[in-house]
Amino acid sequence: MNQVNKNNCDLQTFGTVVGFREDVKVLDCTVRDGGLINSHHFDDGFVKAVYATCVAAGIHYMELGYKGSKKIFAPAKYGIWKYCDEDDIRRIVGDNKTGTKLSVMADVERTDYHTDILPKNKSVIDLIRVATYIHQIPTAIDMIKDAHDKGYETTVNLMAVSIVSDKDLYDALELFVTSPVDTIYLVDSFGSFFPKQVREMTAKFREIVKGTDKQIGIHAHNNQQLAYANTIDALIYGASLLDVTINGMGRGAGNCPMELLLGFLKNPRFDLRPVLECIQKTFVPLRHQMKWGYAIPYMIGGQLNQHPRAAIEVVEGQHPDDFLAFYDRVIQEES
């Protein structure tokens, strides 16, 4: 049915439903975003299962966690994937002789990047993803340069874009364009964007990187059941690097599920079966210990463009189904 309207504007863009683009790459951030649920206390068995699944499914990148500063985040409080020490990673992946590259996230002002990010020739990590808020851009750019100079691929993930003005956003993008960063991410931290907005923003991001070899990435959240839709529309409008998590695991409403996205992508390198196997064997049992995925309090937060913090408290609290009290409270606070 995708040839119905030959003059449709989508055909000015990058995607059809039956082919595939070589530039499109999938990044699994299950262990990193999922770690926000349990303070990164995953055992090796879980991380190995996710790694084996990513390799078998043809996923391009797997993100293991954060490069958190041990001065700021006391190791007594967090699991090892808050820090992603080289030895811990190698215990899972060895020298990683696979088709799946490895990534870690480095938060601005929460990473001792000069010391904790090793030169690339001493690390099995391939990609450093710098996560920044709008008021931290100069430090983010210094971190990008540091990682780039050490020999890594880099992305910059500007968070909470939905509460940033257009002017500030485009000023930030102009700075990123002059940096050595490889991929600039559109991050829907609050799960508040509609697909129409994602299409328009992705097109604008592409306009800004035009003439460079930089690419666009998309990281979506499922607060309004739109993570998958937003991801495939970003793809069609020009995003190349697509974040997913197995079974949608991630903080609050979670992320774009890998299993859904692989149903859209037609690149023969991908295989859905190992993902389904991993969900069945590893994630279904885990749901007794960890909570993630769409729920009405997240919808309310997404509709109001709010940080999911308050909704998480409701969903993980004593009265997860008392939507009405939560709604009345946030509506009052809005005024």
Output 122 or 273, the one with its CB closest to its own copies: 273
- What ranges in the chain are assigned the alpha helix state H? 30-34, 44-57, 86-93, 113-116, 137-150, 166-178, 195-209, 227-236, 258-264, 273-278, 284-286, 296-303, 309-315, 323-334
**For 86, which DSSP code?**
H
CB of 148 within 8 A of CB of 181? yes
Residues in the site for its own copies, rule: CB under 8 A? 1-5, 8-10, 12, 15, 17, 161-162, 166, 193-197, 199-201, 203-204, 207, 222, 224-230, 232-233, 236, 257, 259-260, 263-264, 272-273, 276-277, 279-280, 284, 296, 299-300, 302-303, 321-324, 327-328
Among 269, 250, 241, 243, smallest CA distance to 308 is for 250
Query: Closest approach of Cβ 24 to its own copies, in Å?
Result: 15
Output 17 or 72, the one with its CB closest to its own copies: 17
Task: Tell me the Ramachandran region of residue 306: left when phi exceeds 0, alpha when psi lies from -120 to 50, beta otherwise.
Answer: beta
Chain CA centroid to CA 3, Å = 31
Query: Closest approach of Cβ 71 to its own copies, in Å?
Result: 36
What does the block give as tokens for 220?
Answer: 């979506």
Output 98 or 305, the one with its CB closest to its own copies: 305
Q: What distance in Å separates the CA atoms of residue 286 and residue 81, rounded to the nearest whole number? A: 18
Query: Closest approach of Cβ 275 to its own copies, in Å?
Result: 10
Among 136, 138, 144, 77, smallest CA distance to 106 is for 144
Output 20 or 264, the one with its CB closest to its own copies: 264
Query: Closest approach of Cβ 123 to its own copies, in Å?
Result: 35
Output 18 or 76, the one with its CB closest to its own copies: 18
Output 84 or 299, the one with its CB closest to its own copies: 299
CA atoms within 13 A on the CB side of 251: 19
Instruction: Say how many C-beta atoms besides its own lie within 10 A of residue 5's C-beta.
Output: 10
Output 27 or 201, the one with its CB closest to its own copies: 201
One-letter amino acid of 53: T
**For 281, which DSSP code?**
I
Query: Closest approach of Cβ 254 to its own copies, in Å?
Result: 11
Query: Closest approach of Cβ 13 to its own copies, in Å?
Result: 9
- φ/ψ of 49, rounded to 5, equals -65, -40
Query: Closest approach of Cβ 126 to its own copies, in Å?
Result: 30
Output 114 or 273, the one with its CB closest to its own copies: 273
Query: Closest approach of Cβ 114 to its own copies, in Å?
Result: 35
